[in-house]
Amino acid sequence: MKKFWTSLIAVAAALSGTIGSAHAEEEKVLNVYNWSDYIAEDTLQKFTKETGIKVVYDVFDSNDTLEAKLLAGNTGYDVVVPSLNFLGRQIQAGVFMPLDKSKLPNSKNLDPQLMARIATNDPDNAHAVPYLKGTTGIGFNVKKVKEILGPNVPLDSWDLILKPENIAKLSKCGVSMLDAPAEVIPTVLNYLGEKPNGFDPALIQGKAQELLMKLRPSVRYFHSSQYINDLANGDICVALGWAGDVLQAKRRAEEAKNGVEIAYIIPKEGAGIFFDMLAIPKDAKHPQNALKFLNFLMRPDVIADISNFVSYANAVPASKPLLDKKILNNPGVYPSPEVQAHLFTFAVVPPKIDRIYTRVWTTVKTGK
């Protein structure tokens, strides 16, 4: 019992200590909330070694979950990684603190063209810096798809997964889709020849929903992270998924030597491109540590290691010489200029349309 009281007093002292010294020196802790499978194995260790700051690392796989937590406030996280189209809305809600640029000397490494593009959602790039970017395309098991659809099936089109006849045949070996309406619906609209970010309720609830309803019986599950392992193990054969995740599945299959050959394509009809951003919530307890972490992640050698590990392109051109040839020359990671011309960004979804997206998504998932 005595032990209990002494430890209670110790905790109380520690708490009052942190409150008292918050302005003087931050404790050497940083709470990071990042996407799952989205950092190199040794990045955090290196950061701790260099700065003495211990990183508490937590993961999510949906922008929706992250935003719900951010809007509730007091998340306890110091660094979060929303996608740009969500970040735009979160900035309007006043979630983030402006970044102290003097603490981010490495931001000079960032691609100025990209920064200009980001500034449309984050004026003056005041609140966030880019982490990684990628496309939302198709990952598939080459052997199984050719087995089912025939050896001459064109492997460069959304027809593979968005054409009801094809997906119905592929359902035998398993098809998955991202559980992310804000990406899948624009992708479907684009495939149907409509503006991906048109936000026209009639089209979303009409054409797009109709097609998705035809596809849904053939979709084994809607999930945004499970498909990496399932593709690698051969449990599913086609996934509407994120470039780097599919390439991670490809590597896992190669390492396991299980005979599964995975490929990723950006279909010729065009695909969505997303930018994941590093930002610091206003109520972060360790903003100085967070700035150090952001600055660390913009160093060419650090971000090159991450890109090499997770197969996503980064925003630091100076990291290119340090990238594996396999990553740099992979058109799925660094698409050619011709392909880039066909990419569209996922725009900020207005709240009214957001509800329509979710409603359509519920219908697609539940059939009601």
Partner 1 sequence: MKSLFNSLRASSSFKGMHWLVTGFPYVWLLLFFVVPFLIVLKISFAEAAIAMPPFTDILSYAEQKLTINLNFGNYAYLFEDALYVDAYLGSLKFAAVSTLLCLLLGYPIAYTIARLQPAVRNVLLMLVVLPSWTSLLIRVYAWVGILKDNGFINNFLMWLGVIDQPLQIMYTPVSVYIGIVYAYLPFMVLPLYSNLVKHDVRLLEAASDLGAKPWMTFLTVTLPLSRAGIIAGAMLVFIPAVGEFVIPELLGGPSVLMIGKILWQEFFNNRDWPVASAVAMVMLAILTVPIVLFHHYQARDLEGRR
The rounded distance, in Å, linking the Cα atoms of 203 and 197 is: 11
The rounded distance, in Å, linking the Cα atoms of 95 and 83 is: 14
- CB nearer partner 1, residue 43 or residue 83: 83
- CB nearer partner 1, residue 159 or residue 179: 179
- CB nearer partner 1, residue 93 or residue 116: 93
- CB nearer partner 1, residue 71 or residue 119: 71
Tell me which residues in 335-354 interact with partner 1 (CB under 8 A). 351, 354
For every residue of 92-122, which 3-state class applies, written as one string? HCCCECCCCHHHCHHHHHCCHHHHHHHCCCC
Q: Please tell me whether residue 12 binds partner 1 under the rule CB under 8 A.
A: no
What does the DSSP 8-state code read for residue 214?
A: H
Helix (H), strand (E) counts: the chain? 18, 11
Residue in 10, 15, 56, 68 binding partner 1, rule: CB under 8 A: 68
Binding mask 143-182 for partner 1 (x = CB under 8 A): --------------------------------------x-
Q: Please tell me whether residue 72 binds partner 1 under the rule CB under 8 A.
A: yes
Residue in 73, 76, 105, 206 binding partner 1, rule: CB under 8 A: 73
The rounded distance, in Å, linking the Cα atoms of 101 and 82 is: 20
- Using the contact rule CB under 8 A, the part of the chain among 105-113, 241-249, 309-317, 357-365 near partner 1 is 357-365
| Shortest distance (Å) from residue 82 CB to partner 1 | 13
Q: What share of the chain is helix, strand, coil (3-state, %, to 5)?
A: 50, 15, 35
- CB nearer partner 1, residue 232 or residue 315: 232
Tell me which residues in 280-339 interact with partner 1 (CB under 8 A). none
Q: Please tell me whether residue 5 binds partner 1 under the rule CB under 8 A.
A: no
Give the other-Cβ count within 10 Å of 32's Cβ. Answer: 21
Please identify which residue in the block is written with the tokens 């992250």. Answer: 66
# chain residues binding partner 1, by CB under 8 A: 28
The rounded distance, in Å, linking the Cα atoms of 206 and 210 is: 6
- CB nearer partner 1, residue 72 or residue 202: 72
Residue in 81, 82, 89, 291 binding partner 1, rule: CB under 8 A: 89
For every residue of 140-197, which 3-state class applies, written as one string? EEHHHHHHHHCCCCCCCCCHHHHCHHHHHHHCCCCEEECCCHHHHHHHHHHHCCCCCC
Binding mask 91-120 for partner 1 (x = CB under 8 A): -xxxx-------------------------
Residue in 222, 227, 274, 309 binding partner 1, rule: CB under 8 A: 222
The rounded distance, in Å, linking the Cα atoms of 94 and 96 is: 6
The rounded distance, in Å, linking the Cα atoms of 78 and 92 is: 19
Beta pairing, strands 79-80 & 29-35:
parallel
Sites of contact with partner 1 (CB under 8 A):
62, 64-65, 67-68, 70-73, 89, 92-95, 181, 221-222, 351, 354-355, 358-359, 361-362, 365-368
